[in-house]
Structure 1
Amino acid sequence: MKKYFYIVFFLTITLKSFATHIVGGEIELVQVKNPSPGITHEVTLNLYFDAINGRPAAEDISITLTFIRKRDLARIGEAVCQRVYRDLIQYIDPACSKGDLQTLLIKYRANLNLPETTFSDPGGYAIVWERCCRNTIITNIRNPSAVGMVFYTEFPPVTIANNSPHFKDVVADYLCINQNFEMDFSATDPDGDSLTYELITPWIGYSTSQNPNPVSIGRSSYPEATWVDSTSLNNVIPGPEPLRIDRFTGVLFVKPDKLGLYVFSVMVNEYRKGIMIGRVKRDFQLKVVDCKINIPPQVMVKSQGTDSFFKEGEIITIKKGDKRCFDILYFDPDINQKITITARGVNFDTKKINIPAISNILIQNSDTLKNSFCLDDCIITKNNQAAEFILSIYDNGCPVPQIRNFRMRVNFEDVDNNRPVITTSLVDLPTVMFGDTLEFTVFGDDEDKDTLSLAGSGRSFSLGALGFTFPSQNGIGRVKSVLRFIPNCEAVKQKQVILDFVARDFRCGVSNQTTYAVPVVVQSIPNNSPIISTDLSDNAIEVILSPTSISEVKFEVEGLDIDEDVINLIASADGFDFKSAAMNFDAKEGIGKVKSIFTWLPNCALLEGKDSKEFLIKFFAQDKACDQKQDTVGVRLVLKNNLSAENPLQPFNTFTPNDDGFNDYFNLGAIPEDNCNRQFVKFEIFNRYGKLIYTTPDRNFRWSGDKEPTGDYFYLLHFSDEIFKGIVHLIR
């Protein structure tokens, strides 16, 4: 199924008029810079129309362009373009127009939507329009009034951002017999793509006088015009210098020797990264007429202060120290014409040619005129080739200016660029003590008096990070800067650092540089280690734990520094968490001497069910000298359970409360002391009926039997982890 893309305008009128009116033209396709919905591209057809021989009725109000997919020559769609411009071509000098030769430029345009879904084929696309007929009086092809022209442009898929090449407007439609003719027929590419030009045989297509505007279909090629005898693609406009086009500049050259009207066709090929992505064909015609001879202006060039003139193309050598200035002498035999001189660099930047404005200078007599220009001191060419440039002198003659080009090639005698030199005010390699300041001056000198910069850096470190300052300086010929160094502790740790100074000259965008290294030794002030101690006799403490009594651990830690440095006193738990163990020690800072108290209230939970546990605490005294030193003392704290309190009970089991002083009461004697594993809870006595008759939480109780009768009684001794049972005999 054929796919058609959206078009903005629709064709409502079809004109079947034909006439011998087509001079030439081309098709351009560009992307819309600020696209609106449904519009992505703009297409323009430029039609050159014979305003003298063509009938006004043959001018189309609108035209229909056909879009072809190149891969399979499928017809993709159409675009209707309306006429948006109509005017005579503009000559360089309006006075050059001729009454019997007038060419109209008519523009047709439309806004389009070229969606990627339709226009993304890698093989690209073509835009085609065919129209009949050409001028009857064309000299170099057969049957011109019965053949038409094919307007043709190729473009890549729209997935590739691209604009087709834009031809410059034509500024002349005739030339003079037996005179050199040169006209810029080039195009520009908005995308910066490379363009090449070639003459091709004009395409006549399939339009005829009976069908002047046929519907175009996809074709791999189109019929070409047939050359008349004595003309060909190599002799389109006959003469001693037949028509040719510069492949890279698009400039037309010809010196005709036969009158007539000559049609020709130029194809511009568009390349991106060496691959052709598009092409545009433009047809045009030039009429060779008999007109007044316009003699080209003449130009001569010599070095200032000399009398001999250069030959065009010769290599000129400018020695070291010589001026790079030249005199231009020029004249034009055609009085009352105006002369303009321009310069263009071939292998270097044209801006390096300092030439004054020489434009529209009126030639009032046959005298030779003179102007001067100079070359910049900073001309750089690839591989040190001779600097090549072209002086162009042209008049305002008709139909186009006569141009005389003078090509110059200049070699510059090598100008050595000496490297800058770095020196310092140092006598010996610098050594600086912490607390002192180092200062010295660094000099950069360039005997060539070039622009010079001086900078410094630390090798593998930042200058500011270690206490260095070195302001960068710029100047001409000589610069200097002062390095200042106040060592910080980080510098002392390095012991030795290396400074790199760089002097760099600048000439014509190229620089030489010199690097100079200075090692700096950094010394610290002698530093004694602080001393740390405690008020403990052997830095070890043993604590017997009891759940009923609290044993506080407390001692003092002291740090001393004979250098009177700032010292820090800190503690570190070895293998346990200081806070979780409920230990308290405040880190302290002081000058020369500092103290802090360690306190601890240990409990049974710290044993974690074990009989004993050891805690090691390390105390540090650290000074804040650059070569920091410290002293360490360790304190061993041992927690133990009260295992001696677990002696077995051996109570007696009979008592006689008769106040005779013997066995008057019952008790259990020495109930073992509480420890972390076992604690006394209470003592209870029951009669033989199971009634509780006595209870006490006092471990040193004495039961006198109260008023209970003689008999056997049962008791329970409660501990936190176990209950002991027994029998006691009461005898009255």
Structure 2
Amino acid sequence: MRKILLVSILILICKVSSFASHIVGGEFELVYLSGNNYRLNLIIYFDEINGAPGAKYSPLPLAWIYRKSDNAVMMQDIQLSLFSEEPVAYTVPSCANDAIVKTTKLVFSKVITLTPESYNHPDGYYIVWQRCCRNYNIVNVVSENPDAGGVGSGLTFYLEIPPLVKDGKRFINNTPQLFPPLSDYACVNRGYYADFKGVDADGDSLVYSLVTPLNTPSAVPHPQPPSTAPYPQVIWEATYSLNNIVHGNPNLTITDDGLLRVTPTEEGIFVFAVKCEEYRDGEKIGEVRRDFQMVVVDCPPGGSEPDVNIELEDGSTYNEGDVLHFLADDDKCVKFTVEDEKGGRVNLKLDPIGYDEENFEIQILSTSPSGDRLTAQVCFTDCPPDKDLPFEVSFIGLDDTCPQPLQDTVKLTVKITPPDNDLPVLKHKEDDGSYSVASQRLVTVNEKAGGVKIVQLLGQDANSDLMDFMLEPVGFELADYGMSVIDKANSAGVREVWLQWNYDCQQVSFDGKTSFEIKVYLEDEDDCQYEEPVLVTLFLNVNLPDNSLPNVYSEKLGSSNQYVKVTAQLDETVTFDVRGTDEDGDLAFIEAVPANFSFSDYNITYNRVQGQGKPSATQLNSTFSWTLACKKFKLVEQDSFRVYFMMEDFDKCEITNRDTLTVDFLLSPPPNSDPLLTVQSANKFPIVNDTIHIIIDENISLRLTGRDFEGDSITLYLVDDQPERLGYDFESKTGMGTVAADFVWSPECHVLEGQPEVFVPLTFAVQDNHCTQPRSKQYSLVVHIEDIDDKSEQFIPPNIFTPNGDDLNTYFGMYRVNNQTGVEENILPIDNCAGQFEKVVVYNRWGREVYSSTDRYFKWYGDDVSSGVYFYYIEYTNRGYRGSFTVRF
């Protein structure tokens, strides 16, 4: 019966998995290497049962990095290559069933460069890779995505990373990694567990939670580039949800530290996702999502859970919650029996909660022939993990049920009294030669040449343990201030060290610090190596020689020697004296330091002066001069400049002893008025009311003149300059104070754009190049352009001609004799932009063409035709004229 049931299960699994996706889960990792180099890993778990072999490596994944703040800026794309490939082992290798679950771990990887200059946005970044589609046999989510045309919903692999700069400093981070896979299948109505915990190389806190898996917005198999966040979620099937992922009893859960648990109640393939959030100093810095699917089958009946029993040496019964107390001289051993009443092979393992197994020793004493019963002894060391505190150990009995052993757990609470140990004594030698055990010691010295102070520290231990000293300077380094530690004695029960302090300020700089705190710890090496240091705090002070503060000031700027405000206009020169005295007559110097700008950017040269600062006629004196060249400044960006004039003396200890005169320069721009622009006609067409009237093909000629009353450089130009379209001739001109330019234009027909007239606006402008407040002036001119009048209303064609040899009306043409001049004139409508003469055609009464010409000055003499009525058609580009005339011989 057992064999038949197993075959039925395998048939069901093959049916369930026949359309399974070849990707069953995975996640990203970003590992810091060195400098700006990182390794990006994409871990994919591949279904060897249902996945097509060619889908393993083709196409190779292409990951993308986006900026998180706006989901718009793509930072870079990363082509990954196959790095490693290995099979995923079952929890119990003997339970392996490749017909149910057979998974390969694929790692795709590449070393990439991420620079702090590029990756510094405080909201961070995310890495994404997408793949469509999930299989159709998933039970708990909708496998057909209506928005994607009815195909399987997709997978989005997602990793958030922090910026590489935080609080102005380089921020190094490794994302969580080394996550275990989901290696086993689960059984209906049987408890299932899996360790999903990852490892963080930086020691960051990791918090786990179940989340809805991410989908893809389209059915593209390999989206390139992948879409940006926010990402759609998969759609849960009816009765399933994030709180009811597999219809479990209890349902699927994960602890904060990554332990998955579930007792599924039905078969199928179930998709779930785990979010692992990364915290440092209480602040979330990133997250990674793991997408996985769980296979649940109806397994053969399993055995019963094994029983774990504790046997105490005195024969009493141990109840969970009791504290088992061992004294220092006790044998610290406990016996266990593990038994499976249904005959399954059993084993015993221990789980020290929060401690290493090195504190315990487990020994199997006996095992039954069938392996269903064993006896074991666990002995504890003399030293508990924490002195005087109880600790817990879980003893877990396991059988050989597949795919995961059934378990029984007994939690034992133990308290061990460690061996006695006397704390060492830390003594320090007083100035009178006696030794003190006070917790604090104050040492004060007066600076002198060759000065050395020895602080003697003595450690004694009643148990004759070896001891270690540790000196912890608070906020400084010993060597920086002439301090060093000398070992004098180191033997069982005795340890002596000297703190040697060189306080000669000619050899050691005490600039900015004359008081020091040092914590001295003494620790004995007792049997259990507990950290119980004895502490003495040393306070060291050095008194430096007196030194008066120098005095820096300016007589021209007023009596204040602390702060002065100077107001000035650009293009001026600011000059004042800077003086300094020192009551001690020390050698001193005066220098100028710009606070918010650079002297070199503004052509400022100030030479540091040095000499004796004693008040006298030879006191330090210098001159500061600044020519405020207007072109050097952008007052819109900065109109206030600060300079510190500092005087420092050279005292014996070279301690910073500085006096500072702060000068703020508040700058304003020089005055500026509007430039002047005049426009005049240079030919016969006058400007009337800012308008010029011309006929097409006539010329416009203008003379433009710009003037600036401050003599600044000025530029004369045409606003919305478009010479290629309109065809005018004009070039911008630049000059100092005054500039002139000519505008010449002969408009052509395309300017009219098919209209009989147009009004073309032209805007001329003059702009001064004032350094801070440029001004401009504009002049708008309208050019009224009309087409040529074709005089078509005066066109009356002739209606007869007589080529009979009398020299009167001898041809057909469009002419009239001017009565005043007697000159023959063409009467055809005049060519203009709207229409031009193209041809004339003459037809007889049967419609046969007898004459044609493209010459507007045509003359037809009626050759080879007879008398009668003829018809003509005169064609222009925009219209035609029809009529008839009579030929009479």
TM-score (structure 2 length as normaliser): 0.43
Answer yes or no: is 1:44 the counterpart of 2:41. yes
The answer to whether the 8 Å contact 1:140/1:262 transfers is: yes
Output aligned runs, 1:606-625, within 5 Å: none
Please provide the CA RMSD for this pair. 4.1
Answer yes or no: is 1:25 the counterpart of 2:43. no
Cα distance in structure 2, aligned partners of 1:76 and 1:320: 63
Answer yes or no: is 1:141 the counterpart of 2:141. yes
Residue 319 of structure 1: how far off its partner (Å): 4.8
Please give the secondary structure, in 2, of the residue aligned with 1:270: strand
Please give the secondary structure, in 1, of the residue aligned with 2:395: strand
Please give the secondary structure, in 2, of the residue aligned with 1:351: helix
Output aligned runs, 1:429-444, within 5 Å: none
The answer to whether the 8 Å contact 2:328/2:419 transfers is: yes
Q: Deviations over 1:34-67 (max 9, x none)?
A: x7xxx82221212223333333454433121110
Residue 86 of structure 1: how far off its partner (Å): 4.2
Please give the secondary structure, in 2, of the residue aligned with 1:152: strand
Structure 1 residue identity aligned to 2:347: I
Change (3 A) 1:511 1:81: closer
Structure 2 residue identity aligned to 1:122: P
The answer to whether the 8 Å contact 1:43/1:112 transfers is: yes
Residue 415 of structure 1: how far off its partner (Å): 7.7
Q: Deviations over 1:212-251 (max 9, x none)?
A: 2223456442111122233221221222221111212x12
Cα distance in structure 1, aligned partners of 2:212 and 2:374: 45
Q: Deviations over 1:117-167 (max 9, x none)?
A: 222223221100111111211111122561011100111223422221113
The answer to whether the 8 Å contact 2:347/2:374 transfers is: no
Q: Which residue of 1 aligns with 2:265?
A: 257
Residue 199 of structure 1: how far off its partner (Å): 0.7
Output aligned runs, 1:476-625, within 5 Å: 506=526, 508-510=528-530
Structure 2 residue identity aligned to 1:381: D
Cα distance in structure 1, aligned partners of 2:347 and 2:336: 13
Q: Deviations over 1:630-667 (max 9, x none)?
A: xxxxxxxxxxxxxxxxxxxxxxxxxxxxxxxxxxxxxx
Q: Which residue of 2 aligns with 1:62?
A: 60
Please give the secondary structure, in 1, of the residue aligned with 2:358: helix
Answer yes or no: is 1:189 the counterpart of 2:207. no
Which of 372, 383, 401 is the aligned partner of 1:378?
383
Cα distance in structure 2, aligned partners of 1:114 and 1:445: 54
Q: Which residue of 2 aligns with 1:614?
A: none
Answer yes or no: is 1:205 the counterpart of 2:206. no
Structure 2 residue identity aligned to 1:174: Y
Q: Which residue of 2 aligns with 1:405?
A: 409
Please give the secondary structure, in 2, of the residue aligned with 1:506: coil
Residue 511 of structure 1: how far off its partner (Å): 8.5
Please give the secondary structure, in 1, of the residue aligned with 2:337: strand
Residue 259 of structure 1: how far off its partner (Å): 1.3
Which of 363, 369, 372 is the aligned partner of 2:374?
369
Structure 1 residue identity aligned to 2:492: N
Cα distance in structure 1, aligned partners of 2:379 and 2:391: 13
Structure 2 gaps of 5+ residues are 1-18, 145-150, 165-169, 427-433, 435-459, 469-487, 495-521, 536-889
Cα distance in structure 2, aligned partners of 1:154 and 1:187: 16
Q: Which residue of 1 aligns with 2:625?
A: none
Change (3 A) 1:140 1:412: same
Q: Which residue of 1 aligns with 2:288?
A: 280
Q: Which residue of 1 aligns with 2:656?
A: none
The answer to whether the 8 Å contact 2:327/2:416 transfers is: yes
Higher RCO by CA contacts (8 Å cutoff, separation 6 or greater): 1
Q: Which residue of 2 aligns with 1:474?
A: 492
Cα distance in structure 2, aligned partners of 1:169 and 1:257: 25
Q: Which residue of 2 aligns with 1:76?
A: 75
The answer to whether the 8 Å contact 1:354/1:374 transfers is: yes
Q: Deviations over 1:152-199 (max 9, x none)?
A: 011122342222111334252411111111111111112222211111
Cα distance in structure 2, aligned partners of 1:153 and 1:185: 17
Cα distance in structure 1, aligned partners of 2:59 and 2:224: 17
Structure 1 residue identity aligned to 2:243: N
Change (3 A) 1:167 1:264: farther
Output aligned runs, 1:285-304, within 5 Å: 285-292=293-300, 293-303=302-312
Q: Which residue of 2 aligns with 1:99?
A: 99
Cα distance in structure 2, aligned partners of 1:152 and 1:514: 50
Q: Which residue of 1 aligns with 2:172?
A: 161
Q: Deviations over 1:276-318 (max 9, x none)?
A: 2121111111111111315443322232x23333233433333
Cα distance in structure 1, aligned partners of 2:360 and 2:338: 18
The answer to whether the 8 Å contact 2:130/2:226 transfers is: no
Change (3 A) 1:366 1:66: closer
Q: Which residue of 2 aligns with 1:720?
A: none
The answer to whether the 8 Å contact 2:310/2:318 transfers is: yes
Residue 260 of structure 1: how far off its partner (Å): 1.4
Cα distance in structure 1, aligned partners of 2:254 and 2:39: 29
Please give the secondary structure, in 2, of the residue aligned with 1:98: coil
Cα distance in structure 1, aligned partners of 2:292 and 2:531: 52
Q: Deviations over 1:261-287 (max 9, x none)?
A: 111101111122222212111111111
Residue 202 of structure 1: how far off its partner (Å): 0.7
Residue 413 of structure 1: how far off its partner (Å): 6.0
Change (3 A) 1:328 1:56: same
Identity of aligned residues (%): 31
Q: Which residue of 1 aligns with 2:859?
A: none
Output aligned runs, 1:162-181, within 5 Å: 162-170=173-181, 172-181=183-192
Structure 2 residue identity aligned to 1:66: W
The answer to whether the 8 Å contact 2:345/2:372 transfers is: no
Change (3 A) 1:203 1:123: same
Change (3 A) 1:355 1:336: same
Cα distance in structure 1, aligned partners of 2:532 and 2:203: 34
Cα distance in structure 2, aligned partners of 1:109 and 1:194: 25
Cα distance in structure 1, aligned partners of 2:262 and 2:186: 9
Output aligned runs, 1:294-333, within 5 Å: 294-303=303-312, 305-319=313-327, 321-333=329-341
Structure 1 residue identity aligned to 2:59: I
Structure 1 residue identity aligned to 2:360: I
Which of 355, 362, 374 is the aligned partner of 1:355?
362
Cα distance in structure 2, aligned partners of 1:162 and 1:514: 36
Answer yes or no: is 1:230 the counterpart of 2:236. no
Change (3 A) 1:207 1:409: farther
Change (3 A) 1:311 1:231: farther
| Number of residue equivalences | 431
Cα distance in structure 2, aligned partners of 1:280 and 1:421: 52
Q: Deviations over 1:393-434 (max 9, x none)?
A: 434542234443332212346987567999xxxxxxx9xxxx
Cα distance in structure 2, aligned partners of 1:186 and 1:514: 39
TM-score (structure 1 length as normaliser): 0.52
Cα distance in structure 2, aligned partners of 1:22 and 1:281: 15
Q: Deviations over 1:347-378 (max 9, x none)?
A: x55422233489xx987436532111222222
Structure 1 residue identity aligned to 2:130: E
Cα distance in structure 2, aligned partners of 1:93 and 1:367: 17
The answer to whether the 8 Å contact 1:343/1:389 transfers is: yes
Structure 1 gaps of 5+ residues are 1-17, 423-429, 431-443, 456-469, 480-501, 516-732
Please give the secondary structure, in 1, of the residue aligned with 2:252: strand
Q: Deviations over 1:87-117 (max 9, x none)?
A: 5422233432231433333332222222232
